[in-house]
Structure 1
Amino acid sequence: MKIFLVAGEASGDALGAALMAGLKELAPGATFHGVGGAKMEAEGFHSLFPMEELSVMGLIEVLPKYKHLKRRIAETADEVTRIRPDALVTIDSPDFCLRVAKAARAAHPALRTMHYVAPTVWAWRPGRAAKMAPVVDHVLALFPFEPPYMEAAGMTCDFVGHPVVAEPVASAEAASRLRENHMIGADQPLLLCLPGSRRGEVTRLAPRFEEAIARLRDREPSLRVVIPTVRGVAALVREMTARWKVVPLVLEETADKRAAFAAADLALAASGTVSLELAANRVPMVIAHDFNRLTWWMMKRAALIDTVTLVNIVTETRAIPEFLGPACQPGPIANALGRLVDDAEARAAQVVAMETTMERLGRGGEAPGLRAARSVLAHL
């Protein structure tokens, strides 16, 4: 069995790796081709080109790379034609992946196509499900409320659980070792700073995060900061933070990053799936994000809900404070972080919402990667 996989960013790489592991368990001898990152490569995958080339977010931000991305779409679709897989599984990154699926389906109308991560039609642009239906047969959904949206558009869909519920969580001992190894006292507040996994996000958010953290340090003089990051932006993160007033510890190794999540007292993070990683580790958080002004205006007009944080959405609460678009300013962000330090009730409310989120996303059941593999094989 040949499976062609296409992932376009770090979260998709993690999903792809878990799916590959599940398929190898259920269908020994399966081979994999396509585009992916380090985690998929660790499962025995050779990427057609570096996945990091595709990590662009925003409607306006993609324009400077449009021609290059268009070439990569054609190159990827041509490779599907050459490989002639039993299935094409595209993973998140719909602007790239669904164009690949469309081109590949045009060349081979009988090609079985699946998309892992349902579009958030419940949040904005509800017409996306109908637009993807002609080129996607089957959808693997991360959230339990999503299948009806996909089925109404004419696709089959299975809720397979969110991979965050199966991710290992570092032990208390590992967290203590990380603090000891980096001389972070047990009584020193430890802040996780997470300015994103894309270069555009880091460039836009890091300066604001720096100022917010500096203001927090004024009221918490012993504050320490850790930035867990990914390969594609690690060098940029180090360059941008080298002269921060509160110089952070930058971590790339998976074990160190997990220990940092377990050791942290609070977090400042860009919006995205990282909020679920924080929830899995019960880390109280503040979410902040900004975009190009035109991108923000277009997204705001299309929004169907008033929050982007997945913990808030899954639990139907607003436990996690957000600062989005024009509201993404250092002063209010610092004040919200300060309230988390001081207000035990606010922290407790977040922890309750986090626990509820993990339960609803499948914690305690079969691993999502294995469930996703079963769904792929059942559809084939």
Structure 2
Amino acid sequence: MSALQIAMAAGETSGDLLAGAVIRQLSMRLPPDSRYFGIGGAQMRAAGFQARFPSEKLAVRGYVEAARHLPEILWLRRAFKRTLRAAPPSVFVGVDAPDFNLGLECALRRAGIPTVHFISPSIWAWRGARIHKIKRATDLMLCVFPFETEIYARAGIVHRYVGHPLADLIPFKPDPMAARRTLGLPESRPAIVAVLPGSRNSEIARIAPVFFAAMARMHERGRRLRFVMPAASPAIRGALQRLAGRYPQLPLSLIDGHSHRALEACDAALVASGTATLEAALYKKPMVISYQVPWLTAQIMKRQGYLPYIGLPNILAGRFIVPELLQRSATPNALADALFDQLDNDANRRALNEIFTQLHHTLKRGAAARAADAIAEVIHAARHRR
């Protein structure tokens, strides 16, 4: 019998991290000569993945940004689709990146290739009509939030709740002092603020300047603070260093990667909306969530949105438990004020710790192992049908 061929496509840093963990689990369940290949990043390559294209190609968010990169993305999808149709894999696993993966999954499934999608698109927050495309695209949807299962059950889509991989990776009880030692930060005073402006070039261009101005406002008010800012890649670090050069007075540690250590070490965080807000919640940290997109993107998202919040901690709680300052509301002064409140409000800190601990228990399910079990079942079922 020929070796199993597991094709995957993961977008950006978070998808690469999730897919890498799944590959490691699959390698313990599938024959040792199984081959993993497709679109991926460093974490997937470290797990034995053959990346024919880098995952950074898919790291685009928003309508305006996507339109700018659309020709390259469409070329990449066509080229990858031709490759998979010419030599059909045992399964295709699309990891996040729904705008790229769902269309690809539709074509592959029509060609008889089993498809699995890992991490449901946020159809509960916006673009709910996408459920119809999902039904055409995937043989199995792997859900990371428990409330998603009801949505897929109503639509008649085969699904499984596996929990969230980050809940398995992040400890229930953070160790801020150990994290500070690792990063070379002071273990007691001053208070430490983690600042995470995003992992995409477009996010850095739009969000990071405002975040730097907010840090400057906080520093100007005479409060003893230390800021720590992780850079997701060398290119991102270069952009952040150029911004930091405008604020030589800031007590700022710019670090390569280590976003989890930065969150574990901090007393509060300023975070661009996205997966990092869930990471901050799992580290039980008070935070301020912010985001900025081009005006047209914001208008389209506003019309298609269903919830009054965009941050994952608020979505999962079903109410505003941490502040969100978006678009024009995200001024340097407003961000600074909100962060000072998160730093100084001890009652709020205790309440958030309780909420985030319960959330952590709900999401910790051994997600990578459960996802690997489900993918292996799809592969074996398809082989028996042939």
TM range, smaller chain: over 0.9
d(CA) in 1 for partners of 2:206 and 2:100?
A: 22
Q: Which amino acid aligns with 1:141?
A: C
SS of the residue 2:27 aligns to: helix
Q: Partner of 1:195 in structure 2?
A: 197
Pairing 1:3–2:2 present: no
1:62 Cα shift?
1.2
Following the alignment from structure 1 to structure 2, what is the Cα–Cα distance between the partners of residues 72 and 46?
Answer: 16
- Deviations along 1:342-377, one digit per CA (max 9) or x if unpaired, are 211122222222112112212xx4x21001111112
**Residue 240 of structure 1 corresponds to which residue in structure 2?**
243
Query: How far, CA to CA, are the matches of 1:327 and 1:56 in structure 2?
Result: 23
Post-superposition CA distance 1:157-180 (Å, at most 9, x none): 10101011111446455224136x
- Which amino acid in 1 is paired with 2:244? T
One of 27, 31, 34 as aligned partner of 1:28: 31
8 Å CA contact 2:38–2:51 kept in 1: the answer is yes
Conserved? CA contact 1:141–1:160, under 8 Å = yes
Query: Is 1:100 matched with 2:100?
Result: no
User: 1:155 aligns to what SS in structure 2?
Assistant: coil
Residue in 1 aligned with 2:299? 297
**Residue deviations 1:210-237 (CA, integer Å, cap 9, x gap):** 1111111223532111112212623322
- 1:177 aligned partner: 181
Number of the residue aligned with 2:74: 70
Question: What is the identity, as a one-letter code, of the residue corresponding to 2:126?
Answer: W
**Per-residue deviation, residues 297-327 of structure 1 (Å, max 9, x unmatched):** 1111111111111112222231111012232
Q: Are the aligned partners of 2:17 and 2:43 in contact in 1 as well (CA < 8 Å)?
A: yes
The answer for the alignment partner of 1:369 in structure 2 is 368
Output the amino acid matched with 1:345. A
Instruction: Indicate conservation of the 8 Å contact 1:118/1:150, yes or no.
Output: no
| TM-score computed with the length of structure 2 as normaliser | 0.91
Shift of 1:253: 4.5
Q: Equivalent residue of 1:221, what SS?
A: coil
1:211: which partner in 2? 213
Q: Secondary structure in 1 aligned to 2:38?
A: strand
Greater CA drift, 336-345 or 241-250: 241-250
What displacement does 1:83 show?
A: 3.6
The aligned residue for residue 140 of structure 1 is: 142
Letter in 2 for 1:378: E
Question: Are positions 1:49 and 2:53 aligned together?
Answer: yes
Picking from 146, 151, 154, the partner of 1:152 is 154
Query: Residue by residue, what CA displacement relative to the aligned partner does 1:22-56 show, whole Å, maximum 9, x if unpaired?
Result: 11112232320110111111101121122112111
CA distance in structure 2 between the partners assigned to 1:305 and 1:173 by the alignment: 37
1:12 corresponding residue in structure 2: 15
Summarize the Cα distance change of 1:83–1:168 in structure 2 as closer, same or farther, 3 Å threshold. Answer: farther
Contact 1:319 1:349 in 2 (8 A): no
Cα distance per residue 1:246-283 (max 9 Å; x no partner)? 253222254xx433222111100000111121122122
Q: Residues 168 and 304 of structure 1: is their aligned pair in 2 closer, same or farther, counting only changes over 3 Å?
A: closer
CA distance in 2, matches of 1:252, 1:54: 22
Percent identity, aligned pairs only, is 31
Cα displacement (A) at 1:73: 0.8
DSSP 3-state at the match of 1:336: helix
Q: Does structure 2 retain, via aligned residues, the 8 Å contact 1:241–1:247?
A: no
Does 1:113 pair with 2:112? no
Partners in 2 of 1:352 and 1:302 — Cα distance? Answer: 32
For 1:250 and 1:290, the matched residues in 2 are separated by 22
Output the CA distance in 1 between the equivalents of 2:340 and 2:164: 31
User: Residues 108 and 115 of structure 2 are in contact (CA less than 8 Å); yes or no, is this contact kept in structure 1?
Assistant: no
**Residue 323, structure 1, aligned to residue 325, structure 2:** yes
Question: Residue 164 of structure 1: SS of its match in structure 2?
Answer: helix
- Call closer, same or farther: CA 1:55–1:176 in 2, change over 3 Å: closer
Cα distance in 2, alignment partners of residues 6 and 324 from structure 1: 31
Which residue in the other structure is 1:131 paired with? 133
Partner amino acid, structure 1, of 2:26: L
- The alpha-carbon distance between structure 1 residues 222 and 28, as it changes in their structure 2 partners (threshold 3 A), is farther
Distance in 2 separating the partners of 1:220 and 1:5: 50
TM-score (norm. length: structure 1): 0.92
Letter in 1 for 2:231: T
Counterpart Cα distance in 1 of 2:322 and 2:21 = 28
Structure 2 stretches of 5 or more lacking a match? 380-386
Give the conservation status (yes or no) of the 8 Å contact 1:5–1:91.
Answer: yes
Secondary structure (helix, strand or coil) at the match of 2:20 reads helix
Structure 1 residue aligned with 2:64, among 51, 54, 60? 60
1:219, 1:28 → 2: CA distance? 61
Residues 226 and 315 (structure 1), Cα distance of their counterparts in 2 relative to 1, 3 Å cut: same
Aligned residues: 371
SS in 1 for 2:9: strand
1: CA distance, partners of 2:347 / 2:222: 19
Per the alignment, do residues 321 and 253 of structure 1 end up closer, same or farther by CA in structure 2, a change over 3 Å counting? closer
